Chains A and B, each alone.
Chain A
Amino acid sequence: MHYQTRYRLSLYLLLLPFVTGIVVLVIIPAGLSFALGFTAYDGLSPPVWRGLQNYRQLMSDDLFWRAVVNSLTFLALTVPLRTLITLGLALLLHRSRRGVRLYRAAVYLPTVVPGVAYALIWLWILNPVYGPLNLILAIFSLPATAWLVDPRTALPALAFAALFQIGEGFVVLIAGLRHIPEEYYDAAAIDGAGRLATFRHVTLPLIMPWLLLIIIRDMIASAQNTFTPALIMTGGGPYYATLFLPLLTYQTAFDRFRFGEGAAMTATLFAGVGVLIVLVWRMLGGWGYDDAV
């Protein structure tokens, strides 16, 4: 008995670094961020309580609304497209056959490119004069577009660049598809179901939990992963066309030292993503089915 307790105790000791790490690095900062949102703080003099003043100010700030609309537009462009592309590629490449590993590796390749390098590469690809994209369009005698220089195309161009880093969701969906027992397909075939009907009634319901997971994960990622591309490729321009919430937060807090306002923006982003997740969850009907993995 005594030995048992000692063993249990040493297990808790092994757990200790992780748990204290979570508390110090995530829970306390999250609480601190929330609290700072109600203050004016420049990092030098002590914070001053402002109540809801920061939030009221945000509501009447045009730049903030611009960033909100941009962030939502980016989300609306990337999340559905990324999900469809991921699903399509996973359906194409989930069965083991000759060469499939190489194809999967190719799809995964852009995902492992570090953010800064990825942004620089796309800055070059989208260059209006000698970027490969416009040069290829020229081969097909399509008109050249100014992409990042034109306020109308800058945000869609950034969204387009984000469509290729889908490796993680791709791997998750392949695993999900491989989990479906072959007998289900056989049963559907016996019932005379065509390809489309099989997909609609067998495949889709069974991978719904995985799909929902990658959609939610993608929404969180898309809401915050705009930072590096926007900073490196456009700096938020032209004319604020690619100013997203993370970039605005960064500029407010770290360039202008308005930590209170920055914290209020962060809290808004946090709440906004939370609301969106609940909406998507409701729309798609929870996990769909309960699998015992």
Chain B
Amino acid sequence: MTRFERSVWRRAWFHLAALCVAFVFAAPAFWVIMASLRPPGAPPSSAFDWLPESFEWSNYLRLFDLLPLERYLLNSMIVAALAVPLTVIVASWAGFAIAQLPEGMRNALIVCAIIVRMTPITALWLPRFLVLNELRLIDTYAALLTPVWMGSSPLFVLIFYWSFRRVPTEVIESARLDGLGALSVWSRIAMPLARPATGAVSVLTFVQYWSDFINPLLYLKSESRYTLPVGLRILQQMDITNWSLLMAGATIMTAPIIVLFIVAQRAFWAEEQGWSARRLGMKDER
């Protein structure tokens, strides 16, 4: 193959370097889980150790006593469960239309999407608050879900656009000659061919709403509506020194995302490289 791979030594060096890198990036995750299992209240160890003296799985249950954590979990689930299908619909409709429109129009829309993607979100906190306040949407889930109106992120629209571009024109033309309208072409021809894009957008949308801290912080008031990230913030304010419980909270918050990525991994890597090859592919927090 290439020069780089010719010798066994080079391969050994590669694995050594890559293992060091992987260790630096992944080891803290292991520490966090171990720290979440330390007995709470016990004096923290003053020397570095890999495993706790005893595994206190009850830390996770104690979190539910301290906080209405099941409520926060449910709220986060509700928001994410509503956001994913709505985002897929809006983003795929827009992506489908962009793919079918004449070239001038299409390029204008793509440039517009990229510019919107580059807008600092900080610039929108305040005026969005004022608009939501006018619409009496402060302290509702709707306030958290407003971004679905624009497909959650212009990136998702572009992902669908790139995916639909790969559908051969003849397939769509013949469907149209059969008398199908745009909505039917979208649902019967385009969407079934864009399953990987739908999967990837669903995963990214879930992550976006599940991790969202700023919107609930700004737009929610009643504690019964809080989502998990705000709950974690409350846990921190309750007792900042109780590290085992804080790390347990962080683990609960992160675990669903890790599971989701492992499940969707294959599709995700292949797809993401596809889009990023077209120069975009970064996380968004809109």
Interface string of A149-185 (1 = CB under 8 A from B): 0000000000000001001110110111011001001
Residue of A nearest to B211 (CB): A114
Q: Does A228 sit within 8 A of B, measured CB to CB?
A: yes
Which one of A8, A113, A125 has the highest number of Cβ atoms from chain B below 10 Å of its Cβ?
A113
Q: Are B123 and A32 in contact (CB under 8 A)?
A: no
Q: Does B4 sit within 8 A of A, measured CB to CB?
A: yes
Q: Does A201 sit within 8 A of B, measured CB to CB?
A: no
Within 8 A of B (CB), among A234-265: 245-246, 249-250, 253-254, 259, 262-263
Q: Are B97 and A11 in contact (CB under 8 A)?
A: yes
- A53-61, A74-82, A129-137: which lies at the interface: A129-137
Q: Are B261 and A112 in contact (CB under 8 A)?
A: yes
Q: How far is the CA of A228 from the CA of B11 in the complex (A)?
A: 41
User: Chain B residues near A30 (CB, 8 Å)?
Assistant: 119, 123-124, 127
Give the B interface residue count (CB, 8 A).
98
Within 8 A of B (CB), among A93-120: 93, 95, 97, 99-117, 120
Knowing A20-B149, A99-B15, A293-B277, the reply to whether A138 touches B48 (Cβ < 8 A) is yes
User: Chain A residues near B29 (CB, 8 Å)?
Assistant: 109-110
User: Chain A residues near B243 (CB, 8 Å)?
Assistant: 124, 127, 130
Cβ distance A110 to chain B, nearest Cβ, rounded Å: 6
Q: Which of A36, A168, A220, A254 is within 8 Å of B127, CB to CB?
A: A36
Q: Does A65 sit within 8 A of B, measured CB to CB?
A: no
Residue of B nearest to A24 (CB): B149
Q: How far is the CA of A249 from the CA of B129 in the complex (A)?
A: 13
Q: How far is the CA of A123 from the CA of B246 in the complex (A)?
A: 10
User: Chain B residues near A25 (CB, 8 Å)?
Assistant: 124, 128, 146-147, 149-150
Knowing A130-B46, A172-B282, the reply to whether A263 touches B18 (Cβ < 8 A) is no
Q: Does A279 sit within 8 A of B, measured CB to CB?
A: no
Q: How far is the CA of A101 from the CA of B269 in the complex (A)?
A: 9
Q: Does B197 sit within 8 A of A, measured CB to CB?
A: no
Within 8 A of A (CB), among B3-60: 3-5, 11, 14-15, 17-19, 21-23, 25-26, 28-29, 31-32, 35, 44-48
Q: Are A227 and B214 in contact (CB under 8 A)?
A: yes
Q: Are A33 and B127 in contact (CB under 8 A)?
A: yes
Q: Which of A18, A109, A266 is within 8 Å of B123, CB to CB?
A: A266
User: Chain B residues near A15 (CB, 8 Å)?
Assistant: 93-94, 97-98, 101, 109
Within 8 A of A (CB), among B94-147: 94, 96-98, 100-101, 109, 112, 116, 118-131, 133, 146-147
Knowing A21-B90, A95-B4, A293-B277, the reply to whether A29 touches B18 (Cβ < 8 A) is no
Cβ distance A123 to chain B, nearest Cβ, rounded Å: 8
User: Chain B residues near A29 (CB, 8 Å)?
Assistant: 123-124, 127-128, 131
Residue of A nearest to B255 (CB): A117
Q: Does A232 sit within 8 A of B, measured CB to CB?
A: yes
Q: Does B81 sit within 8 A of A, measured CB to CB?
A: no
Q: Are B116 and A185 in contact (CB under 8 A)?
A: no
Q: Are B93 and A253 in contact (CB under 8 A)?
A: no
Cβ distance B183 to chain A, nearest Cβ, rounded Å: 7
Q: Does B168 sit within 8 A of A, measured CB to CB?
A: no
Q: Are A10 and B181 in contact (CB under 8 A)?
A: yes
Q: Does B233 sit within 8 A of A, measured CB to CB?
A: yes
Q: How far is the CA of A84 from the CA of B35 in the complex (A)?
A: 31
Residue of A nearest to B124 (CB): A29
Q: How far is the CA of A214 from the CA of B276 in the complex (A)?
A: 11
Q: Which of B126, B128, B146 is within 8 Å of A36, CB to CB?
A: B126
Knowing A92-B21, A220-B118, the reply to whether A228 touches B247 (Cβ < 8 A) is no
Q: Are A18 and B236 in contact (CB under 8 A)?
A: no
User: Chain B residues near A209 (CB, 8 Å)?
Assistant: 279
Q: How far is the CA of A58 from the CA of B95 in the complex (A)?
A: 42
Q: How far is the CA of A262 from the CA of B100 in the complex (A)?
A: 42
Q: Are B91 and A18 in contact (CB under 8 A)?
A: yes
Q: Does B249 sit within 8 A of A, measured CB to CB?
A: yes
Pick the 8 closest A-B CB pairs, nearest first. A21-B150, A114-B211, A18-B94, A29-B127, A21-B149, A106-B22, A168-B282, A135-B48
Could you list which residues of chain B lie within 8 angstroms of chain A, going by C-beta atoms?
A: 2-5, 11, 14-15, 17-19, 21-23, 25-26, 28-29, 31-32, 35, 44-48, 90-91, 93-94, 96-98, 100-101, 109, 112, 116, 118-131, 133, 146-147, 149-151, 154, 157, 176, 181-183, 186, 207, 210-211, 213-214, 218, 229, 232-233, 236, 243, 246-247, 249-250, 253-254, 257-258, 261, 265, 269, 272-274, 276-283, 285
Since A113-B254, A185-B2 are in contact, a sample of 10 more A-B pairs with Cβ atoms closer than 8 Å, ordered by chain A residue number, is: A7-B182, A93-B21, A99-B18, A115-B213, A171-B276, A175-B273, A246-B122, A254-B129, A270-B123, A293-B279
A-B contact pairs, 26 of them (CB 8 A): A7-B176, A14-B96, A18-B157, A28-B131, A43-B130, A99-B18, A105-B265, A106-B21, A109-B29, A112-B261, A113-B257, A117-B229, A117-B232, A135-B45, A168-B282, A171-B281, A172-B276, A176-B276, A179-B277, A216-B118, A223-B122, A253-B125, A254-B129, A259-B126, A263-B127, A266-B125
